[in-house]
């Protein structure tokens, strides 16, 4: 099926509105197979949302995912059929799955799915459901999900004991007010943390190779530049790296990632990574008493060796698959830039600068315009100040 798509709702009635495509041609007429598969997906969605195991089994061959979802507090679960390809055994359906976690997601998270369908005795059934090509896995596909609610957090884990997940929730609960103190309260003030079983599983959630996340303690996924209706971000922890950190390091990392959740609506394509990552590190280290030498060891070594940076790092320097030392220096450079702004111009000015950069319609001119508006500085003058600050702080 092409040129036409419908939401298949767990709540009941079919969606009346059709997605508008870019083609000027009229949508293809709905055939009986399409209608039957949409009905199948509607019943499957309703069974998941209602926790009706018998109704779920009636939609296809039983699998473990229904049980794995038992503790996930779902607020909605819907399929949108986007393509139906008939095969000798039945059909292959391509669909968008939109789901919302109750109390956390302001709008559904949408992921692409592939479903193998069989057609026997006049009935369509799901033989298998999996991520679409190049799409990431969902946590419940990796095993039974254990859910722990904190005061300001929801932690979902696979292969983790409840006691361990409660420690993550405690860290997340401390991170939220720390971020509110620095950034403000103009965000929901809640965070969803996913804890898979391994680095390999973390990469599976992100649809990437595990080698890209070796040594990375956590990442945050989400929609940059959201309008306030974007779904809540997911902080995904790499337990193999995160658990090697000390207590302070664990808190800094989770506060850093929570900062990304809070600032998401004001982070756009105009925001360079040195600012978004540097600001998140600034919030993470704020109030910890860590000195520049302690928080920026790689950059400290470079400065002492006569290799002080001449300019702020570009986005490529933040690639996880690159040189680990270069990556560390990039983060540390961004942190020191934000630390310098907060010290010399005040924390409120740093927040204002961040928001103005993100509000710019494009990357070109965003930083220059905000530097002039907030500090009365040119990019060249700001770079000179930052360069001198780094040398004094780490020399």
Summarised one tens digit per residue, pLDDT across range 318-339 is 988 778 899 999 999 999 999 9
Report the range of poorest mean pLDDT among 88-92, 256-260, 286-290. 88-92
User: What's the predicted TM-score (pTM) here?
Assistant: 0.89
Measured distance CA(180)–CA(177) in Å, rounded: 5
Distances (CA, A) of 247 to 10, 167, 168, 184, 335: 43, 11, 11, 25, 20
The region of weakest confidence among 20-24, 92-96, 228-232, 304-308 is 20-24
pLDDT tens-digit map of 269-301: 999 999 999 999 999 999 999 999 999 999 999
CATH fit for domain 136-266, picks 3.30.2010.30, 3.20.20.450, 3.40.50.2300, 3.90.550.10: 3.30.2010.30
pLDDT for 211? 87
pLDDT digits (tens, 9 = 90+) for 32-76: 899 999 999 999 999 999 999 999 999 998 889 999 999 999 999
Question: Does the structure show a pLDDT above 90 at 143?
Answer: yes
Residue 357 has pLDDT above 60, yes or no: yes
Q: Determine the Cα–Cα distance for residues 244 and 222; give it in Å rounded to an integer.
A: 26
What pLDDT does 223 receive?
62
pLDDT computed for residue 380 by the predictor: 98
Supply the pLDDT for residue 301: 97
pLDDT digits (tens, 9 = 90+) for 160-172: 999 999 999 999 9
* Closest-CA residue to 143 (of 203, 68, 202, 213): 68
Residue 92's pLDDT is what? 97
Segment 369-377 shows an average pLDDT of: 98
Identical fold, 6-133 and 136-266: no
All structural domains of the chain with their residue ranges:
6-133, 136-266, 268-395
Q: For residue 192, what pLDDT is reported?
A: 97
Q: How confident is the model at residue 94 (pLDDT cuts 50, 70, 90)?
A: very high
- 3-state secondary structure at position 171: helix
Instruction: Write down the pLDDT at residue 19.
Output: 29
Which of 15-29, 79-93, 132-146, 213-227 has the lowest average pLDDT? 15-29
**Per-residue pLDDT, 229:** 54
In percent, the amount of the chain with pLDDT more than 70 equals: 90
| pLDDT confidence bin for 21, thresholds 50/70/90 | very low
In whole angstroms, give the CA distance from residue 248 to residue 318: 23
Mean pLDDT over residues 219-245, rounded? Answer: 80
Mean pLDDT within 368-389: 98
What CATH number should be reported for the domain whose range is 6-133?
3.10.450.50
Beta strands 234-237 and 191-195, pairing class: parallel
Dihedral angle computed from the Cα positions of residues 48, 81, 192 and 290, in that order, rounded to the nearest 10 degrees = 160
The reported pLDDT for the residue numbered 300 is 97
Mean pLDDT of 135-153: 97
């Amino acid at each position: 099926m092409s040129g036409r798509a419908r939401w298949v709702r767990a709540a009941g009635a079919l969606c009346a509105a059709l997605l508008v495509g870019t083609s000027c041609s009229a949508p293809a007429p709905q055939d009986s197979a399409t209608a039957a598969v949409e009905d199948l997906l509607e019943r499957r969605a309703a069974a998941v949302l209602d926790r009706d195991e018998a109704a779920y089994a009636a939609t296809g061959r039983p699998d473990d995912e229904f049980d794995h979802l038992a503790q996930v507090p779902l607020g909605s679960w819907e399929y949108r059929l986007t393509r139906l390809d008939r095969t000798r055994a039945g059909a292959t359906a391509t669909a968008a799955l939109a789901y919302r976690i109750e109390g956390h997601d302001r709008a559904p998270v949408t992921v692409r799915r592939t479903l193998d369908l069989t057609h026997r005795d006049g009935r369509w059934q799901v033989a298998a459901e999996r991520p679409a090509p190049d799409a990431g896995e969902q946590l419940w596909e990796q095993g039974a999900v254990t859910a722990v609610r904190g005061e300001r957090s929801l932690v979902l884990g696979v292969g983790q004991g409840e006691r361990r997940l409660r420690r993550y929730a405690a860290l997340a609960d401390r991170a939220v007010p720390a971020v509110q103190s620095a950034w403000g309260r103009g965000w929901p003030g809640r965070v969803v943390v996913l804890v898979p079983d391994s680095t390999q599983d973390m990469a599976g959630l992100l649809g990437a190779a595990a080698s890209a996340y070796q040594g990375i303690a956590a990442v945050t996924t989400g929609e940059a530049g959201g309008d306030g209706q974007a779904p809540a971000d997911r902080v995904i922890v790499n337990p193999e790296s995160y658990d090697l950190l000390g207590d302070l390091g664990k808190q800094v990392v989770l506060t850093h990632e929570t900062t990304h959740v809070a600032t998401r609506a004001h982070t756009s394509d105009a925001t360079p990574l040195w600012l978004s990552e540097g600001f998140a590190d600034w919030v993470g280290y704020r109030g910890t008493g860590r000195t520049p030498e302690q928080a920026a060891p790689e950059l400290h070594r470079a400065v002492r060796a006569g290799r002080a940076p001449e300019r702020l790092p570009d986005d490529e320097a933040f690639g996880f698959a690159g040189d680990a030392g270069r990556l560390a220096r990039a983060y540390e450079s961004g942190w020191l830039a934000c630390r310098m702004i907060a010290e010399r111009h005040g924390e409120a000015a740093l927040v204002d600068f961040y928001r103005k950069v993100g509000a710019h319609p494009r990357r070109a001119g965003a930083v220059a315009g905000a530097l002039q508006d907030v500090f009365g500085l040119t990019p060249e003058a700001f770079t000179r100040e930052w360069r001198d600050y780094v040398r004094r702080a780490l020399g």
